[in-house]
Amino acid sequence: MFRNFRMVSYVVFGRGSFNQLDDILSRRRKDGGSVVVFCVDDVHKDKPLKNRLPLKSRDLLLWVNADVEPKTSYVDQLTKRVKEEAKSLPVGVIGIGGGSTMDISKAVSLMLTNTGSSADYQGWDLIRNPAVYHAGIPTLSGTGAEASRTAILTGPQKKLGLNSDYTVFDQIVLDPELIQGVPTEQWFYTGMDCYIHCIESLTGTYLNAFSKAYGEKALDLCREVFLEGGPGSEDKLMMASYCGGMSIAYSQVGVAHALSYGLSFVLGLRHGIGNSIAFDYLEEFYPEGVHEFRKMLEKHKIDLPRKITANLDEEQMNRMIDVALILEPLWENALGKDWKKKMTRDRIADLYRRM
């Protein structure tokens, strides 16, 4: 069966396009009593963006914290707050921030119409009811969360997304001005998430013309942004992130992502940095990609953390290997159908020990 892929319904792109949000939302607001929920990364609390939010009297503004990656308990807490304070079902949930905030807004929009805890829906196609209308506005580019059908959450048992057609945003607003001025390290690591999406998609066994078209374009844009730079870089990175997301949506990621999930679960590392740390040790799988990645590291003077697994005990190492091995489609994409013969626990342990 071929995947019948649900895409974002509406996209607006361009510098200053954020100003159109009021107009876009006015079509959702039925009357003066309609509530729109704004989930905004709290990094913007004291920034000019705060005064540009098109808030109406009954709207709710939730400052969302992304110091750690989103947890199911946090999503449940925010959903409860919205139910208590909005009093009626909101007509929209708007996520403004990086991948974490966008995922939180997707998850809250789903949990407003589905009962129980968000942890009950970590998996594939477990969501029963359509979400409240939800829109995503990136202020950090690379994850492709604006394009994907998942909202990645860490729950009590696992780190796994709420994957469903209902998860996909109804609207995204891609305004390159919003990603200006991100601190270099964060810009680099989230950007490398996109670069690694491209390499893993383009070298994978799941590759097809759809994924290749998006993946090649995204890779070209990443090269322009991270090896050349210059004016227009924000516009390019924003489109690279979107196209990289579209590429993996119809193929899969690979070894770096599988190992990175283990690093995140056991060591609490963020997605972008975890991918970068893992990728640097994967020359045997992605020789050209790793070589080019090192040029990018050097150009931007990024010092990758080293020896991060040096103090892990055997139990932690085993848990990390378990988490990585759950991600079977990633291994199959990277290494083929007989991947289990190629990727043993010992080989994964050896890769982790080098990091």
Does 234 participate in binding Zn ion (rule CB under 5 A)?
no
Amino acid identity, position 89: L
Return the range that interacts with ligand NAD (CB under 6 A); candidates 17-25, 79-87, 270-278, 324-332: 270-278
CA distances from 341 to 203, 216, 286, 335, 337 (A): 19, 30, 19, 10, 9
With CB under 6 A as the contact rule, the residue among 8, 140, 259, 335 that binds ligand NAD is 140
Amino acid identity, position 182: V
The closest alpha carbon to 132, from 31, 36, 30, 26, belongs to 36
Tokens read off for 294: 């090192």
Are 47 and 40 contacting, i.e. CB atoms less than 8 angstroms apart? no
Does 193 participate in binding Zn ion (rule CB under 5 A)?
yes
Return the range that interacts with Zn ion (CB under 5 A); candidates 32-40, 82-90, 187-195, 218-226: 187-195
Return the range that interacts with ligand NAD (CB under 6 A); candidates 1-9, 137-145, 227-235, 281-289: 137-145
Does 59 participate in binding Zn ion (rule CB under 5 A)?
no
Contacted by 186, from ligand NAD, Zn ion, none: CB < 5 to 8 Å by type: ligand NAD
User: CA 36, CA 61: separation in Å to the nearest integer?
Assistant: 9
Are 282 and 236 contacting, i.e. CB atoms less than 8 angstroms apart? no
HSE value, Cβ hemisphere, 13 Å, CA-based, for 143: 26
Does 75 participate in binding ligand NAD (rule CB under 6 A)?
no
With CB under 6 A as the contact rule, the residue among 8, 37, 39, 66 that binds ligand NAD is 66
User: CA 183, CA 285: separation in Å to the nearest integer?
Assistant: 30
The beta-strand segments (E) located in the chain are: 10-13, 36-41, 60-64, 92-97, 123-124, 134-138, 152-154, 159-163, 171-174
User: CA 71, CA 150: separation in Å to the nearest integer?
Assistant: 14
Return the range that interacts with ligand NAD (CB under 6 A); candidates 61-69, 122-130, 209-217, 313-321: 61-69
Site for ligand NAD in 101-120 (CB under 6 A): 101, 103
Of residues 35 and 238, the one with the C-beta less far from Zn ion: 238
Of residues 177 and 280, the one with the C-beta less far from ligand NAD: 177
Contacted by 97, from Zn ion, ligand NAD, none: CB < 5 to 8 Å by type: ligand NAD
Of residues 35 and 239, the one with the C-beta less far from ligand NAD: 239
Return the range that interacts with Zn ion (CB under 5 A); candidates 60-68, 155-163, 186-194, 306-314: 186-194
Residues 6+ apart with CB under 8 A from 36: 25, 28, 29, 56, 59, 60, 90, 91, 92, 93, 94
Contacted by 235, from ligand NAD, Zn ion, none: CB < 5 to 8 Å by type: none
Does 143 participate in binding ligand NAD (rule CB under 6 A)?
yes
User: CA 155, CA 299: separation in Å to the nearest integer?
Assistant: 37
CB atoms within 10 A of CB 280: 17
Contact letters for ligand NAD, residues 301-320 (x by CB under 6 A): --------------------
Give the nearest residue (CB) to Zn ion.
Answer: 193
Contacted by 139, from Zn ion, ligand NAD, none: CB < 5 to 8 Å by type: ligand NAD
List contacts with ligand NAD (CB under 6 A).
41, 43, 66-67, 69-70, 97-101, 103, 139-140, 142-145, 148, 150-152, 179, 182, 186, 190, 193, 270-272
